[in-house]
Chain A
Amino acid sequence: MTNGVNTKTRVSRRHFLLGAAGAGVAAAGIGLPAIRPSRAQAGRVVYATWGGSWEAAIKKAWFAPFTKATGIEVVAVQDNTYGKFQSMVESGSTEWDVVETNPDFQYIGAERGLLEPLDFSIIDKSKIMSGDGFVTEYSVPQVLWSRLMAYNTKALNNKVPEDYKALFDLEGFPGKRAFYTNPNSGALEAALLADGVAPDKLYPLDIDRALDKWSEIRDHIIFYETNAQAQQYISDGQAALSMMPDGRALAAVKDGSPVAIQYNQSILTWSSMVVPKGAKNRENAMKFLAFALSPEGQAAIANEYTYGPVVPDAFKFISPERAKILSGGPQQQGKYIMANEKWWAENLEKASERLTEWRLM
């Protein structure tokens, strides 16, 4: 008995050693490029990203050219959440230098002392489009995007929903409506606009009035937890209409799904870039932000991914066909409404609670 166990152990140890040797070779292989000279002296920037195809795009449009121009290496890390951001700064171990966030965080993070003031002697903010909250002491905008109505043309028999009244018109536009579980998906704004609130009187949002409007179509609302889910719902027709990010709607169109986009009254918003307090490579972070906000940098990302530039000059480097699908581009001029992200930062908790209550009613 004992003997048998011993033999078994020996065999498995040999296997283990083989495996360890293999891992060692692999590690050496991975280690090789790091030994290359010149990059190390210029330093680096640790960039916390949302990841996915977006990460691939910024690597191509921003990281590689930036490193080429400055010698500063950009390291992308994922798993970027507010929770992690806060615990990192509060525990004094800030590993990130630039973080992409939703704009609510530029207010929440600043209020909680989690952000480093930006150096506008390095970053040129004069070219950035004007608007409330676009640039703050602690944040710059990254790209433009919109929350808007997308619809499945097959489910609607090619009938075109001209405005948000269609969301609440079950006879004219039968089918499910997909909204985000987070209240700031533009669907509350859509309800108020459909209910006759003037676009310039939208904020502060009357949440109760918006939810009352939702109640008219309660049984026809399905909620999505992730944007990928929204894309799925609208692509396969599980939802006939959806309030969703333009990027996901465009991706559905590009996939060949019977999906179309209504740009009327789209809620224009943006993503932000911030520098966490105590960032180790602060100087390099400022240089990176300056680079990303140059007209060329903005055009590069807009050509790579379907988000609009926050620097209008960038359109000089973007083809008219491309410009047509970008947020802030010609197709949206005179149609969009600016989201009040400051209001959302202050009211997200209350709105979330009210939405949860409404869902359970």
Chain B
Amino acid sequence: MATDVSPLRQDRAHMPARPERAALPDAAATAAGRVRHVPIGVPDMAVLIRRHAPTLLLMPALLLLVGLFVVPVLRLVGLSFEGSSGAFDHYMRIVDRPVYLQVLQRTFLTSAATAVLCALIGYPVAYRLATGSNRTRLLLLALILIPFWTNLLVLCYGWLIVLNPQGALNALLLKLGLVSTPIPMSGNIVGVLVGMVQTMLPYAILPVAANMARIDERVLMAARSLGAPPLQVFLRAYLPMTLPGVIAGALLVFIMSIGFFVIPAILGGTRDIFIAQLIEMNINRIMNWGFAAALSTIVLVATLVLYAVGVRWFRLGTVWGQS
């Protein structure tokens, strides 16, 4: 579709102003008392409802969001300032003990690596998804979505079977004579990255594919007709046009990865501790909710900052379908 105006907006644009109709009612209708006279300038409920219909339709969702999300989040943040000897108790501990910043750093670095790998692997897949034949697209979608719908624990244990030193992959490598001793691929950062990249790939592929599908073929034709060789067409026309989608997808992957819990716990090694694990431990095992709230707040703030950066400079909105 060429125009991007929603049906709702079109309706409103073509709607005659209500007061005119009210001021000039049909004589017969007036006689029958079927038309209410509304003085000009005083809003009629019906007018108000009609004018704000889109907003009113949002209300149930908005109420749910406020009640079930905004309020609890604010309470969580509040809880993080309830220390035994001062409002910043928990935050002081996070700053004082290097371990928490180290875990945060590790969480963020691993998530960033996941985002980069997802973007690199996802780009060509997204291209095929956007431009391939119907059959290719269906096949690709199935390949992307079936793991996406598979339970995370099942995926993790599956990878454990494949990656562990006695696992399928090492057995194959040994048999082929490519290695002489098994390569440790689980219980370390390799395992974590394999698991995380696989889980997060759909989030990197789908927005990029959507972005690619919107690209005007004529721009590329113009580039070719002006004599640009394929590499130039890609580097100077296609890549710049698709890059916002790639970055948006990568940011989405990054933000979602920060909350990971199961994958580093199962596929990771001694050092692969994610902040979510410490939060869970403080909630369910140690029961220090204030401290868990402080850790959560830090993650929340970091996520919001990243999101703002994404929206402001990297068009993160394209992920949600904004152009």
Contacts and interface: CB of A to CB of B under 8 A. Distances in A.
Contacts of B164: 238
A182 interface: yes
A229 B270 contact: no
A83 B271 contact: no
A28 to B, nearest CB: 31
B284 A221 contact: no
A238 B270 contact: no
B286 A225 contact: no
B97 interface: yes
Interface string B280-293: 01011111110000
B241 interface: no
Contacts of B271: 359-360
Contacts of B147: none
B194 interface: no
Given A225-B265, A360-B102, A238 B165 contact: yes
Contact of B284 (A81, A238, A349, A356): A81
B190 to A, nearest CB: 14
Interface in B100-155: 102-103, 106
Categorize the interface residue count of chain B: 20 to 34
Contacts of A229: 266
A186 interface: no
Interface string A203-238: 000000000000000100111010001000000111
A236 B166 contact: yes
Given A222-B187, A229-B266, A83 B287 contact: yes
A102 to B, nearest CB: 9
B97 to A, nearest CB: 7
A86 B288 CA distance: 11
Categorize the interface residue count of chain A: 20 to 34
B273 interface: yes
B269 interface: yes
Nearest to A179: B270
B269 A357 contact: no
B77 interface: no
Which has the most chain A C-beta neighbours within 10 Å: B98, B273, B278? B273
B278 to A, nearest CB: 7
B286 A221 contact: no
Contacts of B102: 360
B99 interface: yes
Contacts of B97: 353, 357
Classify the interface of chain A: helix, strand, loop or mixed.
helix
Interface string B200-217: 000000000000000000
Nearest to B292: A83
A232 to B, nearest CB: 8
A1 B187 CA distance: 56
Contact of B286 (A112, A236, A349, A360): A349
A353 B166 CA distance: 32
Interface string A331-361: 0000000000000000011001100110110
A353 B265 contact: no
B286 A359 contact: no
Given A229-B266, A356-B273, A86 B99 contact: no
A360 B273 contact: yes
Nearest to A229: B266
A54 interface: no
Which has the most chain B C-beta neighbours within 10 Å: A108, A218, A348? A348
Contacts of B289: 83, 86
Contact of A237 (B98, B166, B270, B288): B166
A264 interface: no
A67 interface: no
Contacts of A353: 97, 99
B126 to A, nearest CB: 30
Contacts of A16: none
A112 B286 CA distance: 13
A229 B283 CA distance: 22
Contacts of B283: 83
Interface string B160-175: 0000111000000000
A215 to B, nearest CB: 11
A352 B103 contact: no
16 contacts: A81-B284, A83-B283, A83-B284, A83-B289, A86-B287, A86-B289, A108-B287, A181-B265, A222-B269, A225-B266, A238-B164, A238-B166, A352-B285, A356-B99, A356-B103, A357-B97
Sorted nearest first, the 4 A-B pairs with minimum C-beta distance are A225-B265, A357-B99, A349-B286, A83-B283
